[in-house]
Structure 1
């Protein structure tokens, strides 16, 4: 087995590695600690290789670290869930939230930090099912060196480290499955869509990333906050008639993230902005040339109606139907028509009233440059910038204050799916809660439809009544990963 052949393999690899890799990028299998904790009534023992700096020239080494966990059984020649030390897939979860800096996930649950806390249940379940876990930290928007595409580039560099050291490590680096939620879900989709594309190469070279590829086998993404330059239009297409809002405000108090809700009503100026954004959305959808399952073009008319809207609603119907099949009583819900246990229709406007608006227009490229996403598109010297022409036009700002087109492009997976210079992941599992109002339903639907049209394997659903969250169906997730890996 490859772990026990460390000495001979190291000798072989050292003879072909370049000097930079010899000094900093060769995995040392002797540097580990043994950890254990109980999972589902069974003691789970692992070897933990933690705080590995995965680039030769780190910019923020406190974040550019990788934690790797390997079930102890593999070192005894055992199989887990049908996998061996050589065939075990690598589960690659990130803890990115709000495009903030993120530490790698850990086997021992850390103190709660960040908008999604420190839950590590996905790691424990993955290990118990025989997966190797590798989790990388990444820079984020609050740092001058963490502006787009820094966080994505960091995760790509970590993938390259794993592939570079494949012969020295447990697991199969050709079976890497990324996982993330919200902005972390966005990172997961970007890893799957942009792999090996030359747009990112200068950034990877500057970091001293390992000389390997960064393509991955599969993507798991929960509520990905993507397609940012078009997400404002998608949000208002969905929530245009909803003028009351409950906005979530995040604050950082002594390193702990706090959430509070702010209620309000859109003023006349905001309603006008919403109307303009909704009106612009059909042209964008129609320009994508998306097709339904019968090959018919998906479109919207000037009022925002059409078969694209019907497609979005079909996922809501399917979600409600699945909820009923699992025993959820929806008989008293006034926005759903049910006959003989079958969901016949959903009233779109009433459903939006039930969901409630969370964000004010524009939801992402705030006109006053105050959104988290404005900070994503900053530079080392300019903290926040606009990233849509709409915001520039509405504020009469100097067009030179708009983020560069390449920076905007590199943060949208839609721009790379099927690109001949990128290697798109074959398998995708995307979940967006049916009560998630952080971005519009159209955003994930555009993503998965684009992937379907390009021939990729898609598993997509809007789980009933789920808000903005992730990792809530881990057993189902790993049933899916088993199905594509075995």
Structure 2
């Protein structure tokens, strides 16, 4: 069978496609052509090992060295037998076969499952031209999830369209490209198999005006993708017992949820309705960057963290509302009964600031400053006098840190907006209803004129299906991921710093391996150590990276 060969190289030339800050140029070898194969939408869930396109790419690693990688690429394979919309319920597979002229056998390599969801918007791989993007449409055509006109993914198609009036995510940015494109390319160059699943998102609407990508559609889709990969063990190269998920922002939340909820029977009915493969959806390890999760408690956490910070206009938010939400956070945090990493002890609203400073913020600043030259460090410290630098260690107060970060990203409430304007309100829409309140506080204080001031009866279960804490606290899920890589920028105010820290504390308390650090002075979607992530996968999987 003839296969088309395409060469992708890093370079900023005319017509190059930018993928996560890496410019890719492409040329096709016209001497050989054939379509890439897959299951399409035929309902078959059997992977075609011969249905690939042969591609090559040049990947620059974190040391600046270039690597020529030849790989097999399977495009837009529908991963469920009864898709609601195959445009989104499809995945791409990339398998390295040669690196720097040396043949690669990836049959037992780890599998990186990298989603490109942002803002809980739709994500499609249908237009991808190769690994790491090249036509992929994360978060609704790449538009920020906070865009006032919503997403544009999919256009008006036979199966559905994005809602032109869907609300934004109250300031969430769709920061998926830089983190995941680098992860995917580096994973390929390390000899790993890369699977890129699409998923339905909150703005998708059918001809009847029904929103078919609202919660819990995205997590059900990702679980179905995992089941497809596992069901095709031996046909899809790679070790299906070493699947590592990765995602950023809402995609980070879904990655964490995928890891926490593996094989939970709570999703079985929804998966059966899609015709998902009869296989496990448990994964080996989880990579989550700035996860926007624990949404029903996120308003309180946000006010605890950022309530004293002014908005970009210089004004403070309604402090009566902020204070009430902070009280909710205190109750919730106490009920979690979590202990901090490093032997810190019980975490509560009174000591969480001390914990964040000691466990994450000061070590982050110390690592950042240590890496600078003496002159650059002196310049930075002169401009940031709130930091005390002594004996190679940075110290400062929580209050000074908040002043250093500056304006908060969101208004109040940050997630369940009283006027239903937040993207998360849309995430919990239903049927033809664009947006709904999902917290009692939001519903009680609704300003849109709703006759009911209560949360709809179906939402508690939906929230349960969307929150990784469901599976990490109380009676913990035994089939959860046991390895966690969690990252966050210190200047990221898209959600509270306690959200990722609680994830880490919950997993650590269960005895799982947790690598959780903050990137100093970085914002939402940062990924400054992708090479370390790849090395981490190699270590925990026992598979030596090339």
Q: What TM-score do you get using the length of structure 2 for normalisation?
A: 0.76
State the Cα distance separating 1:110 from its structure 2 match.
Answer: 2.3
Q: Is 2:234 the counterpart of 1:178?
A: no
Task: Supply the RMSD in Å over aligned alpha carbons.
Answer: 2.3
Q: Is 2:423 the counterpart of 1:372?
A: yes
Question: Greater shift after overlay, 309-318 or 183-192?
Answer: 309-318
Which secondary structure does the structure 1 equivalent of 2:522 belong to? coil
* Deviations 1:27-60 (CA, angstroms, capped at 9, x unpaired): 1112111111222333211111111000000001
The residue that corresponds to 2:226 in the other structure is 159
The residue that corresponds to 1:251 in the other structure is none
The residue that corresponds to 1:149 in the other structure is 216
CA distance in 2, matches of 1:381, 1:454: 41
The residue that corresponds to 2:52 in the other structure is 32
CA distance in 2, matches of 1:412, 1:78: 42
The residue that corresponds to 1:404 in the other structure is 459
Q: Is 2:322 the counterpart of 1:231?
A: no
State the Cα distance separating 1:480 from its structure 2 match.
Answer: 1.0
Q: Does the CA contact (< 8 Å) of 1:178 and 1:220 recur in 2?
A: yes
* Deviations 1:264-302 (CA, angstroms, capped at 9, x unpaired): 5245xx2211111112221211111112357674243xx
CA distance in 2, matches of 1:166, 1:102: 25
Q: 2:508 aligns with which of 435, 438, 452?
A: 452
State the Cα distance separating 1:77 from its structure 2 match.
Answer: 9.6
Question: Greater shift after overlay, 334-343 or 190-199?
Answer: 334-343
* Deviations 1:425-473 (CA, angstroms, capped at 9, x unpaired): 0100000111111011111111100111111000000111110014432
Cα distance change, pair 331–402 in 1 and its aligned pair in 2 (3 A): farther
Q: Is 2:178 the counterpart of 1:128?
A: no
CA distance in 2, matches of 1:26, 1:405: 36
Q: Is 2:402 the counterpart of 1:352?
A: yes
Would you tell me which structure has more helix in proportion to its own residues?
A: 1
Which secondary structure does the structure 2 equivalent of 1:352 belong to? helix
State the Cα distance separating 1:118 from its structure 2 match.
Answer: 4.8
Which secondary structure does the structure 1 equivalent of 2:339 belong to? coil
Q: Is 2:311 the counterpart of 1:245?
A: yes
Question: Greater shift after overlay, 457-466 or 391-400?
Answer: 391-400
Task: List aligned pairs for 1:170-209, cutoff 5 A.
Answer: 170-209=237-276
* Deviations 1:214-249 (CA, angstroms, capped at 9, x unpaired): 00010011000011111111111111212x213xxx
CA distance in 2, matches of 1:184, 1:294: 28
CA distance in 1, matches of 2:53, 2:347: 56
Count, aligned residues: 437
CA distance in 1, matches of 2:342, 2:57: 50
CA distance in 1, matches of 2:421, 2:347: 33
Cα distance change, pair 156–470 in 1 and its aligned pair in 2 (3 A): farther
Point out where structure 1 has 5 or more consecutive residues left out of the alignment: 1-20, 247-262
CA distance in 2, matches of 1:286, 1:401: 26
The residue that corresponds to 1:282 in the other structure is 330
